[in-house]
A and B are shown apart, each in its own frame.
Chain A
Amino acid sequence: MTEELSKGLGTSYKEAPEQKSGPAIFNFLGMPGRFFLKLLLRPLQQCAFLGRLCTTALRSLDGPSNRQKLLLYVTVDESLRFFWHAFLLILITGLIVGFLWSIIWFRLLSNAGGADNLMDLLVSVQMEIVNPFFASTICIVTYMGPMTMDLAILKSTRQFETLSLMGIPPIHFLTWPKILASFLVFPVILFLIDFGTAAGVYLGAHQLISLRLLDFADALYQEIKEINRIRFFFQSVAMSLTMCFFSLFNAFEINENESARIPFLTRRAMMEAFFFCTLAGVLVTLLYA
């Protein structure tokens, strides 16, 4: 806008001050610098979020009895929702994988080493390494991802503020029921996929070599030792808490009126949850190897 035009319109004109910018090379070097700074800050932000989560943990236990009942109701509701969204896919995946094992073992490998060796590989490879990977992927896609999106929508549409004004810390009310639901339901999901795998293997074995159910069950039972049970417990705890934490953290990162970022945050939440959950599972497996 020129000075004459602005005078004609009756507005005041001020020339914008000349913006001094450095050479383009500084901007170019600044980009990786900013990238690495963000990378360094992120673990600190995650630790801060974890700290805030922990400070609100005891709010579930103190306060009026109505609060405990409300939180229990919400936890049960979340658990049922988690289970309902994941269980069918988990069972079907387990059955298909188990059936594939049978086909490969009894057809392609011509029953190399017999049913006992099959059980050994089924437990040590499929159930301890591959099934947790499948289970966590399915849980992230069916529950954690949508959960991140729901929470991000709540935050970006100022509903977190509404909860705060009701005296309800969102970081308590919206997180702990989900963390508990994840902790309680994921072992069940893991058990279901193992069950589905075993069922799939049996169905295949029964068709191909007429293996009896009792013989199959006995052989499987012999393979599952105390160490497997301990590993199962720690794996389910580590993986459930990890994927829940990263899903929640990314949801809480969004600011008000930033709805456009929700797809990006959901994608990042799912990727981080998948990566760190797999890492946690592998670490537990190696620890108890």
Chain B
Amino acid sequence: MPEIPQSLIELKEITISTFKGNRIPPLELSINKGEGLVFIHDHTDVLQELLRVAMGWEEPITGEIFFIGKNLRHMSYLENYSHNLKIGLVHRAAVLISNRSIFDNIMLHYLYSRSESKKLLKEKARLVIDSLKLSDYAYDRPAQELPEDKRRLGLYALAMAKDPLLYILERPAQFLDADFAKVWELLTEKKKNGAGIFVLARPMEQFAAGSFEKVIAPQAE
């Protein structure tokens, strides 16, 4: 298996403009293995736009994005799906497959992408669900019937089940409050094992600021 380069994601000279007309100065950031970076900005549209650009869903006005050394612009249509497997994304508008339970959502991902035995995959899924204390909610009820906070935890469970190289979280502390401490503890463990964490947050949503190696807070233009 090829060794993963040190730099997980690099944004070089990125400028973006949102539908509300907000812009940020040219941005340079990089996240290495085992590093956490928080990007802080007042405007939620800037956070959303930066997230879409970092994921390769939209082109920046200028600049390039590299993910594990590969330019996102040069990725083919199907390569994008392999790229998505290496990223654990939880953003504000994310949803689970609504007519399936959290467990079924995780198993759908596993069965499509992994070659291990079904028994082993089910065990892995159960471990992730138990680590987030979702056992009472994850098996019997479809996602659409769960309360909002459990659905959000389900999204984190799905992201963690992928065992990605990089976690991208948009405004993670909102709505979860007490539960997020547990999520953050698990993510910090993952960071120690080499995963990168990229958080986009508003100033009042800063949390555990000390555990981020890098903090970027540009002024709006």
Contact = CB atoms under 8 A, between A and B. Distances in A.
B84 A164 contact: yes
B84 A67 contact: no
B113 A167 contact: yes
Nearest to A165: B84
B81 A66 contact: no
Interface string B87-109: 10100011111100000010011
B78 A169 contact: yes
B81 A169 contact: yes
Given A159-B98, A163-B97, A67 B112 contact: yes
A52 B77 contact: yes
Contact of A64 (B80, B97, B113): B113
B24 interface: no
A158 interface: yes
A173 interface: yes
B78 A55 contact: yes
Contacts of A158: 93-95
B81 A167 contact: yes
A163 B77 CA distance: 15
A123 B113 CA distance: 49
B114 interface: yes
A64 B93 contact: no
A64 B84 contact: no
Contacts of A159: 95, 97-98
Contacts of A70: 108, 111-112
A52 B162 CA distance: 26
A167 B82 contact: yes
A60 to B, nearest CB: 11
Interface residues of A, number: 24
A173 B93 CA distance: 22
Contacts of B121: 66
Interface in B64-83: 77-78, 80-82
A124 interface: no
A166 interface: yes
A162 B108 CA distance: 11
Nearest to B115: A64
B108 A168 contact: yes
B132 interface: no
A162 B81 contact: no
Interface string A156-189: 0111011111111100010000000000000000
Nearest to B159: A165
A65 interface: yes
A69 interface: yes
Contacts of B108: 70, 166, 168
B133 interface: no
Interface in A200-259: none
Nearest to B110: A66
A164 B81 contact: yes
Nearest to A52: B77
A163 to B, nearest CB: 7
B77 A162 contact: no
Given A55-B77, A55-B78, A169-B81, A157 B98 contact: yes
Interface in A41-65: 52, 55-56, 59, 63-65
A223 to B, nearest CB: 47
B109 A167 contact: yes
Given A66-B110, A166-B158, A157 B85 contact: no
9 contacts: A63-B112, A66-B112, A66-B118, A158-B95, A162-B96, A164-B80, A165-B87, A167-B85, A167-B112
